[in-house]
Amino acid sequence: MEAGLPAELPRLTRKAAKPVPGIVHLGLGAFFRAHGALYIEEAMQASGGDWGIIGVSLQSSAMHDRLAPQDFVYTAQELGPNGEQLHQVGVVTDVLVARQDPDAVLATLADPGIRLVTLTITEKGYCHDPATGRLNMAHPDISHDLDSEHPVSSIGFLVQALARRRDAGLPPFTVLSCDNLPDNGRLLRGIVLEFAGKLDADLAHWIAEEGRFPSSMVDRIVPATKPEDIDALATKTGVLDEAPVLHEPFRQWVIEDDFVEAYGADARPDFGAVGVELVANITPYEDMKIRMLNGTHSSLAYLGYLAGYETISETVADPVFAEFVTHLWRHEIMPSFTPPPGVDLKAYAEALFQRYANPAIRHRTWQIAMDGSQKLPQRLLGTVRDNLADRRDCLGLSTAIAAWMIYVGGTDLDGKPIDVRDPLADKLKALSDSGTTPGEKVVALLSVEEIFDPQLVKGLRLHVESAYILLSMDGVRPVLEHMA
C-alpha cells in the first residue's frame, strides 16, 4: 500500500443480502467481473430471478483469497475520458478453488439450482489445437482427466458434472462461452462431446441431444488491475477493496438465444432487459469483433511493444500507428467478412479508435501480447486466409505476424529481453533460435501446426519473411510509415 495510506483501512463490506445462486462461472477473472457479472446483476434488478454467481478458480486461490474477506463484493470502476464512476457489485456469492476441492466444484455444478455455466478461461483453457479446433488429447490436463475422478481442466469438470446430472435425472445446464474464439459455443460443444465420447458414448449422446452451447460475443476493454490502482481507490473511498476491476464505458454482449429447453423461461436471466443482443446467428458479430477489435489489438500490441510503447492509448497517439490501424481496417479486415445487419463498419472502426485512444484505460501492450500462439489463428490468420483466397492485400497483417515472431524470439529490436508469456513459449523460442537468418526463423515458426495451417503457410511465407527482414533492419515506425 502507498506510504500515505493509513495502516488499517476498513474492508469493503456487502450492503445487501446475497442472491440465490443460479450460475457457475469458470475462470472468474477481471473481464467477466467487469462485463458479464454486471449484466447479470442488472438483469436481476430489472426482472428478478435467482441468478447469483458462484465463481470457480481452476488453479490459483488468489481470487478467493482477495474476495472472501469482503464477502465476495467488489468495486467496478468505469474509466471514461472525462471522469470515472464507481459501482459495488454483489452478484458473486462465493468462489471455489478447483485444485483445492474438486469435489465441491462438481457438487455445485450438479446442483439442480444451477441452470447456466459461463466461462472465461482464455483460449488456452480449452485444451484444444487452435489450428483445427479439435481437443488436444496429448494435453496433460486432458490425459489426467480421462483417468481421474478429480478433474483439473474446465472440460473435465463440465463433462463429469453433466454425467452427475444425467445420472440424477436432472436436465443439463446450458454452457455459455464468453471467450474470444470464433463460434465459441460450437467449438466448446465439439470439445466436450469429444471428451465425453472417450468416457461414455451414451453420455456424449445425451449431452448432444439435451445440452445447449450457445455462442456469444463479448466486448469491453478491461485492463489488468495493478497494486497502485487498489491504493488509489482506497485513497478515494477510505475503504480497502483488494479486488476492484477497471473498465471502459463501452460494453456489448451478443448471445445466440439457445438455452436448455427443460427450464423454460427460467433457463437464463432476462438479458434482453439490459441491452444484451439475443440473436439466431452469432457469426457476423463475432467476425466483426474478433477481426476488427481483437485482430487490431494484437497487431498494435506486438508492433507497439517493439516500438517502445507501454499501452494501446500511447501507441495510437502516434500518427504512424493511427494510420496503420486505419489501413488494417479499411483495406485488409473490413473487406474480409459480411457485417451484421444494419451495422456501419466505418462507424464501428471510428468508435474502436476512440476507445483505443482513451487515456484513462492503460491497457498494456505486454498484457495483450500474452498467449499469442492461442490467439493468432482466430484474430489474424482467419482474415489472412480469406484475403489470400480473394487475392486481397495482407501486408499489414503479415507485418503484425512478423512482429509476433520477433516478440516470441524473446529479444526486442534493441537487444533487450522480452518476458514472453505463452503456453508454447519454450518451443517458439527454440524454433526462433534454430534459424540463423530471418528467413530461417520465419520458416521454423511457420512450421508450428498448432498455429499455422500448412495450406495457409504456402501463401503467407514470403509476405511474413519480407516483413520480418524490414522490421529487423529498419525498425517498426519506418516500416509502417512506408506502408502508409
Residue 10 lies in a domain: no
Our measurement of the distance from residue 269's CA atom to the centroid of its chain's CA atoms, rounded to an integer in Å, reads 22
Residue 248 lies in a domain: yes
Measured in Å, how far apart are the chain's first and last C-alpha atoms? Answer: 46
Residue 15 lies in a domain: no
Last residue of a domain, one of 279, 298, 330: 279
pTM of the model: 0.89
- Please spell the DSSP secondary structure of 363-418, one letter per residue: -BHHHHTTTHHHHHIIIIIHHHHHHHHTT---HHHHHHHHHHHHHHTTB-TTS-B-
Residue 398 lies in a domain: yes
Q: Name the residue among 224, 396, 388 with its Cα closest to residue 300.
A: 396
Q: How far is CA 193 from CA 183, 199, 265, 318, in A?
A: 16, 10, 26, 47
Residue 83 lies in a domain: yes
pLDDT 10s digit of each residue in the chain, 484 long? 444 555 689 999 999 999 999 999 999 999 999 999 999 999 999 999 999 999 999 999 999 999 999 999 999 999 988 889 999 999 999 999 999 999 999 999 999 999 999 999 999 999 998 888 899 999 999 999 999 999 999 999 999 999 999 999 999 999 999 999 889 999 999 999 999 999 999 999 999 999 999 999 999 999 999 999 999 999 999 999 999 999 999 999 999 999 999 999 999 999 999 999 999 999 999 999 999 999 999 999 999 999 999 999 999 999 999 999 999 999 999 999 999 999 999 999 999 999 999 999 989 999 999 999 999 999 999 999 999 999 998 999 999 999 999 999 999 999 999 999 999 999 999 999 999 999 999 999 999 999 999 999 999 999 999 999 999 999 999 999 988 6
Last residue of a domain, one of 215, 247, 279: 279
Helix (H, G, I), strand (E, B) or coil at 192: helix
- Residue 5 is predicted with a pLDDT of 58
Indicate if 315 and 218 belong to the same structural domain: no
List the domain range (segments joined by +) for residue 294. 283-483
Q: In what order do the strands lie in the sheet with 245-247?
A: 83-89, 74-80, 245-247
Indicate if 52 and 153 belong to the same structural domain: yes
Indicate if 252 and 355 belong to the same structural domain: no
Indicate if 199 and 70 belong to the same structural domain: yes
Indicate if 202 and 318 belong to the same structural domain: no
89, containing H or E segment: strand 83-89
Indicate if 201 and 337 belong to the same structural domain: no
Residue 218 lies in a domain: yes
Residue 341 lies in a domain: yes
Indicate if 324 and 287 belong to the same structural domain: yes
The total number of structural domains that make up the chain = 2
Per-residue DSSP letter, 180:
S
Indicate if 205 and 157 belong to the same structural domain: yes
- Residue 483 is predicted with a pLDDT of 84
Indicate if 255 and 293 belong to the same structural domain: no
The CATH number of the domain where 195 resides is what?
A: 3.40.50.720
What the block records as the C-alpha cell of 307 is 516500438
What the block records as the C-alpha cell of 236 is 478515494
Last residue of a domain, one of 232, 252, 279: 279
Residue 217 lies in a domain: yes
Indicate if 336 and 432 belong to the same structural domain: yes
Indicate if 303 and 251 belong to the same structural domain: no
The CATH number of the domain where 429 resides is what?
A: 1.10.1040.10
Indicate if 382 and 311 belong to the same structural domain: yes
- Please spell the DSSP secondary structure of 97-122, one letter per residue: ETTT-HHHHHHHHT-TT--EEEE--T
Give the C-alpha separation, 202 to 416, whole Å.
Answer: 55
